């Protein structure tokens, strides 16, 4: 008899609440007779599992049964608490309450080895409030109205069906179905200027998880960075995109969308970046730099 199979049967029943012997036999690739022996073993170990005969019968656990804390190893308990601590960093009061209860249940004191904070500097309260509203809308399948600022500095009002909150590359995003565009869209949380959770509910659609194919839609960008900002290069580009030059500088090759975000991003490097290609991006960046120079030079005139 496999102890591992007994635990898997127990977890399966906790999740499904009720299952038939043929279902369990197919799931765990054993005979129905073996399943019944496993159920007897679980019952003998004190697990309140029982089988009901008949058309609507099956194998199930007593309704209020919960797993004893001893079934989790110390490492599993610590990993569970660490995951909850990450969630509580969003400002979720429920997650923090659950974290406190499980810490007491597991008899594990918070050693303070991990600190996670997804909020921006000075924006913790506002970011937490926005996150909670979006979380509620996603879980309850409620449509939302948002005021959104896109990368072209255009503000729009949209009604969307929120599907998932996603944290990627140091930023929070909302994956949603946009009713205006009748298509899936991803919105950066920092650019959602205002939102209202509506009473209108929806049946959630499956968000396509394929990564965007920048190789087909975006030009190849070649950027030469000064060696003095190596820390930013390794923070923001994959090692496969970086070639160290003989003088210590970095040549980065990547496919990126040419938009206002990219222009602002490159300007943030000042004189420590040079656009090698494409030529039109170099011209756009130079024009922006000249405009900045003229604007600040005029202010310094007597």
Q: Where would I find the H helices in 89-240?
A: 93-106, 124-140, 214-217, 230-236
Q: From CA 181, how far away is CA 160, in angstroms rounded?
A: 9
Is the predicted pLDDT of residue 57 greater than 50, yes or no?
yes
Residue-wise pLDDT tens digits, 170-208: 778 899 999 999 999 999 888 899 999 999 999 999 888
Reported confidence tier of residue 281, pLDDT bands at 50, 70, 90: very high
Output the six-digit token pair for 187. Answer: 């919105």
CA dihedral of 175, 216, 233, 286, whole degrees rounded to 10: -110
pLDDT at res. 69: 45
pLDDT at res. 36: 87
How many Cβ atoms from other residues are within 10 Å of residue 226's Cβ? 17
Q: Which residues lie below 8 Å from residue 143, measured CB to CB, with a gap of 6+?
A: 137, 159, 160, 161, 162, 179, 198, 200, 201, 202
Q: From CA 170, how far away is CA 150, in angstroms rounded?
A: 18
Q: From CA 198, how far away is CA 140, in angstroms rounded?
A: 11
Q: Is the pTM of this model over 0.85?
A: no
pLDDT at res. 78: 67
């Amino acid at each position: 008899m496999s102890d591992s199979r007994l635990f898997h049967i127990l977890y399966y029943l906790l999740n499904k609440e009720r299952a038939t012997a043929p279902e369990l036999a197919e799931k765990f690739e054993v005979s129905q007779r073996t399943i019944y022996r496993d159920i007897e073993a679980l019952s003998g170990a004190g697990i309140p599992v029982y089988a009901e005969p008949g058309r609507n019968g099956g194998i199930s656990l007593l309704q209020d049964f919960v797993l004893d804390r001893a079934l989790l190893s110390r490492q599993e308990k610590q990993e569970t608490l660490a995951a909850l601590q990450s969630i509580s960093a969003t400002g979720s009061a429920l997650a923090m309450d659950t974290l406190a209860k499980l810490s007491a249940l597991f008899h594990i004191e918070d050693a303070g080895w991990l600190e996670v904070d997804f909020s921006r500097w000075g924006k913790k309260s506002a970011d937490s409030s926005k996150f909670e509203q979006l979380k509620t809308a996603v879980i309850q399948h409620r449509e939302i109205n948002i005021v959104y600022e896109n990368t072209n500095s255009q503000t729009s009002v949209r009604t969307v069906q929120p599907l998932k909150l996603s944290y990627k590359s140091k930023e929070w995003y909302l994956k949603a179905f946009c009713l205006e565009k009748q298509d899936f869209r991803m919105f950066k949380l920092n650019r959602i200027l205002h939102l209202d959770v509506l009473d209108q509910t929806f049946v959630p659609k499956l968000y396509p998880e394929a990564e965007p194919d920048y190789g087909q839609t975006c030009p190849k960008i070649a950027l030469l960075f000064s060696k003095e900002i190596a820390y930013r290069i390794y923070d923001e580009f994959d090692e496969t995109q970086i070639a160290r030059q003989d003088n210590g500088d970095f040549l980065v090759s990547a496919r990126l969308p040419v938009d206002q975000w990219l222009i602002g991003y490159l300007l943030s490097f000042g004189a420590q970046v040079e656009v090698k290609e494409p030529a039109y991006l170099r011209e756009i960046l130079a024009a922006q730099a000249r405009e900045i120079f003229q604007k600040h030079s005029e202010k310094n005139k007597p």
